[in-house]
Each structure stands twice: as C-alpha cells, then as structure tokens.
C-alpha cells in the first residue's frame, strides 16, 4: 500500500512539474507576442489564442481571405524573429 501511495505522489509531482513548464512556455509566448507590431499581433492573437479561423479573422479585420493568408505568414515570421528562448521549437 505504501508503495502505491509513493508512486502516486511521484506521478503527481511529475504532473505538477509539467504544468509549471507549460505555464512558463505560455508566459514566454505571450511576452514574445507582445513584441510583434500591429496588425500582425492582432492576427496572431485572433488565430492562435482565440482560435478563430483565418476566414473569420479576415472578415473581422476587413481583409479578403487570400490577403489574410499572406499577412498570417508575415505575422508568423515576425513572431519567429523575436524567438530568443527557442519557444517555438520546444
């Protein structure tokens, strides 16, 4: 019984460590996003944080879909330029 409790505590501690690491990543991503200029920051927020589609984002911002696709690509490149901690790849 004591073994099972110890194993459960170890599992809980591992999960807590993962949660802390994910929270640190999220904080770093949001700090990185803050460095991106508008309107690219807004595009990234709508698509990757709010979960909106490019179609919806384009409509809300007054762009056509094809132009939004290009702007999204530029926005991702600008975001990547601010990636000093390797946030994107980890």
- The pLDDT tens digits for 26-81 are 999 999 999 999 999 999 999 999 999 999 999 999 999 999 999 999 999 999 99
Encoding tokens for residue 35?
């460095």
pTM of the model: 0.75
5-8 CB contacts, 8 Å cutoff, 24+ apart: none
Place of tokens 């980890």: 90
The candidate with the shortest Cα–Cα distance to 71, out of 49, 38, 26, 27, is: 38
Q: How much is the average pLDDT of 1-9?
A: 91
Rounded to a whole number of angstroms, the distance between the first and last alpha carbons of the chain is 38
Q: What is the pLDDT of residue 90?
A: 46
């Amino acid at each position: 019984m004591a073994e099972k409790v110890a194993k459960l505590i170890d599992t809980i501690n591992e999960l807590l460590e993962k949660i802390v690491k994910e929270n640190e990543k999220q904080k770093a991503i949001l700090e990185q996003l803050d460095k991106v200029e508008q309107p690219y920051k807004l595009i990234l927020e709508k698509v990757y944080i709010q979960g909106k589609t490019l179609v919806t984002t384009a409509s809300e911002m007054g762009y056509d879909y094809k132009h939004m696709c290009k702007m999204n690509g530029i926005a991702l490149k600008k975001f990547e330029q601010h990636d000093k901690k390797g946030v994107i790849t980890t």
